[in-house]
């Protein structure tokens, strides 16, 4: 017991220094937690995509569209349950790129049924079906701009020219914590009719098809069967699971993801330096005391325990405060960067990892001071002046 008390007293001896060290540790743990959470956000989104959904798009790239008539042919493929189609609209709210959020047209009317992860109250869904210019938006984006049911939302088209007004008929919530709640969805038919009047060649086109299959384990065979259908047509298709499609899309950012990881480990380096420095200074000042303890007959093990214990207490304290601060920090960053990261949910795994790293840093920081304290001979130690 007395050992613990001595450790605690030692840690509290230089209150300012200990406080600063704890603060430094906390800050670094927050930075580590926030970066890891941001990186996880992308992974979480991918994990939540149902495995029974495929995406069929133009083989050249996703800026090319496919004729809507492909829907009926895809539906004939064995193993396919339902088919919907969608177009990326890319409209800007208040014509400001800073307000970016995903918005797309989905058809046929009940195409949204293919997305069970978007939970919409039944009455709102019905209101949406009945309004040609209606739209459904995620809770987060609705909160961000303060919209209410019945509001008219004007988007300025970047791909489809002009100003487009949509009436908010429904608000969806995510079925899971990590589900994206920042999208806006509207009727494909409205898009098609209006664009058809402006540019007749543009009507009857789908950006991609969403294909729900009966058996996820047969997805590879169904993908191949769909692509075979259009092998010799003017618009060839590329079908893959929605998961694979999203991974491919995000892999464009690989280089940046790797860089963020490197930074998060450099941060751990900084905490190590701060804590190691504190322990080094404390141990240097207390060499006399440690030697005195040794003179009294305390073994090296006990003395080492004093130093390592103190280092661990400071590390644990800093780690805990850092973990508590990670939540508000992740939340703030998530809001500031909602364009790129739709969900910032702190995972318990991240917190455990942060704590393990903090404690590891605590042990490592005690190594050099401990060796110094143990190596010094009693005579030399007693003579030592801070």
Sole binder of other proteins in the list 146, 200, 297, 386 (CB under 8 A): 386
* Among 94, 110, 197, 339, interactor with other proteins by CB under 8 A: 339
Query: Which residues lie across from 170 on neighbouring strands?
Result: 136
Burial 250-288 (b: 16+ CB within 10 A, else e): eeeeeeeeeeeeeebeebbebbbebbbebbeebbeebbe
Q: Which window, 76-84, 177-185, 305-313, 333-341, contacts other proteins (CB under 8 A)?
A: 333-341
Residues 6+ apart with CB under 8 A from 381: 287, 288, 290, 291, 294
Q: Residue 16, interface with other proteins (CB under 8 A)?
A: yes
Q: Is residue 288 a contact residue for other proteins (CB under 8 A)?
A: no
Q: Which position among 248, 299, 328, 349 is part of the footprint of other proteins (CB under 8 A)?
A: 248
Q: Whose Cβ is closer to other proteins: residue 337's or residue 356's? A: 337
DSSP string, 140-190: HHHHHHT--TT-EEEEEESSS-SEEEEEEEEEEEESSTTS----EEEEHHH
DSSP one-letter string for 313-353: HHHHHHHHHHHHHHHHHHHHHHHHTTTT-S-----HHHHHH
* Number of residues this chain uses to bind other proteins (CB under 8 A): 65
Please, which residue, 159 or 363, has the CB nearer to other proteins? 159
171 versus 361: smaller Cβ distance to other proteins = 361
DSSP state of 135: E
Residue ranges in 199-298 assigned as alpha helix (H): 219-229, 242-250, 254-285, 287-295
Q: Cα(245)–Cα(239) distance, rounded to whole angstroms?
A: 9
Q: Which of 153, 184, 238, 283 binds other proteins (CB under 8 A)?
A: 238
The answer to whether 281 contacts other proteins (rule: CB under 8 A) is yes
Residue 252 found at the interface with other proteins (CB under 8 A): yes
> Is residue 23 within the footprint of other proteins (CB under 8 A)?
yes
Report in angstroms how near the CB of residue 177 gets to other proteins at its nearest: 22
Q: What residues pair up with 212 in beta bridges, in sequence order? A: 53, 82
Cα distances (angstroms) measured from residue 299 to each of 279, 290, 293, 374: 20, 10, 8, 10
Q: Is there binding between residue 95 and other proteins (CB under 8 A)?
A: yes
Q: Which stretch binds other proteins (CB under 8 A): 123-131, 182-190, 208-216, 329-337?
A: 329-337
Cβ closer to other proteins: 29 or 211?
29
Closer CB to other proteins, residue 100 or residue 129? 100
Assess 30 for contact with other proteins (CB under 8 A).
yes
Using the minimum distance from each CB to other proteins, give the nearer residue, 220 or 260: 260
How far is it, in rounded angstroms, from Cα 109 to Cα 335?
A: 32
Q: Among 119, 273, 355, 367, which residue sits at the site for other proteins (rule: CB under 8 A)?
A: 273
Site stretch for other proteins (CB under 8 A), options 5-13, 14-22, 46-54, 292-300: 14-22
N-to-C CA span, the chain: 28
Choose which of 1, 5, 61, 96 interacts with other proteins (CB under 8 A): 61
Per-residue x/- marks for other proteins, 36-55, CB under 8 A? Answer: --x-----------------
Element (H, E) at 134: strand 134-138
Closest by alpha carbon to 318, among 284, 268, 382?
A: 268
Q: Assess 367 for contact with other proteins (CB under 8 A).
A: no
Measured at the CA of 160, the angle between CA 159 and CA 161, to 5 degrees, comes to 105
Residue 88, Cβ neighbours under 10 Å: how many?
16
The answer to whether 124 and 142 have CB atoms below 8 angstroms apart is no
Question: Which residues contact other proteins by CB under 8 A?
Answer: 14, 16-17, 20-21, 23-24, 27-28, 30-31, 34-35, 38, 59-64, 90, 95, 97, 100, 156-159, 161, 201, 234-235, 238, 248, 251-256, 259-260, 263, 266-267, 269-271, 273-274, 276-278, 280-281, 284-285, 329, 333, 336-337, 339-340, 368, 386
């Amino acid at each position: 017991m007395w050992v613990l008390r001595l450790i605690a007293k030692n840690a509290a001896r230089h209150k300012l220094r200990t406080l600063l060290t704890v603060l430094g540790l906390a800050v670094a743990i927050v930075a580590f937690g926030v970066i890891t959470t941001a990186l996880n956000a992308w992974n979480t989104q991918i994990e939540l995509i149902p495995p029974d959904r495929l995406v069929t798009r133009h083989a050249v790239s996703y800026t090319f569209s496919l004729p809507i008539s492909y829907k009926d042919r895809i539906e004939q493929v064995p193993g396919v349950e339902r088919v919907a189609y969608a177009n990326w609209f890319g409209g800007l709210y208040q014509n400001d790129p800073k307000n970016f959020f995903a918005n797309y047209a989905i058809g046929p009317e009940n195409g949204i049924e293919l997305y069970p992860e978007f939970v919409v109250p039944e009455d709102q869904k019905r209101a949406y079906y009945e309004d040609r210019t209606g739209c459904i938006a995620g809770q987060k984006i609705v909160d961000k701009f303060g919209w209410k049911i019945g509001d008219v939302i004007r988007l300025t088209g970047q791909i489809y020219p002009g100003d487009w007004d949509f009436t908010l008929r429904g608000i969806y919530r995510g079925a899971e914590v990590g589900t994206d709640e920042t999208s806006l969805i509207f009727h494909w038919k409205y898009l098609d009719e209006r664009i058809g009047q402006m540019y007749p060649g543009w009507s009857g086109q789908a950006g991609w098809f969403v294909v729900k299959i009966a058996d996820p384990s047969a997805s590879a065979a169904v993908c191949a069967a769909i692509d075979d259908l259009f092998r010799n047509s003017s618009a060839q298709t590329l079908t893959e699971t929605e998961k694979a499609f999203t991974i491919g899309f995000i892999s464009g950012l690989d280089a940046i993801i790797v860089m963020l990881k490197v930074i998060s480990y450099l941060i751990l380096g900084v905490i190590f330096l701060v804590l190691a420095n504190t322990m080094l200074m404390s141990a240097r000042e207390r060499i006399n005391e440690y030697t005195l303890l040794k003179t009294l007959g305390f073994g090296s093990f006990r003395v080492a325990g004093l130093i390592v214990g103190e280092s661990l207490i400071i590390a644990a304290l800093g780690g805990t405060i850092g973990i508590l601060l990670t939540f508000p920090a992740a939340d703030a960053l998530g809001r500031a960067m909602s364009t790129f990261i739709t969900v910032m949910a702190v995972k318990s795994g991240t917190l455990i990892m942060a704590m393990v790293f903090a404690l590891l840093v605590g042990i490592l920081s005690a190594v050099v001071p401990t060796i110094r304290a143990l190596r010094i001979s009693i005579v030399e130690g007693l003579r030592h002046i801070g």
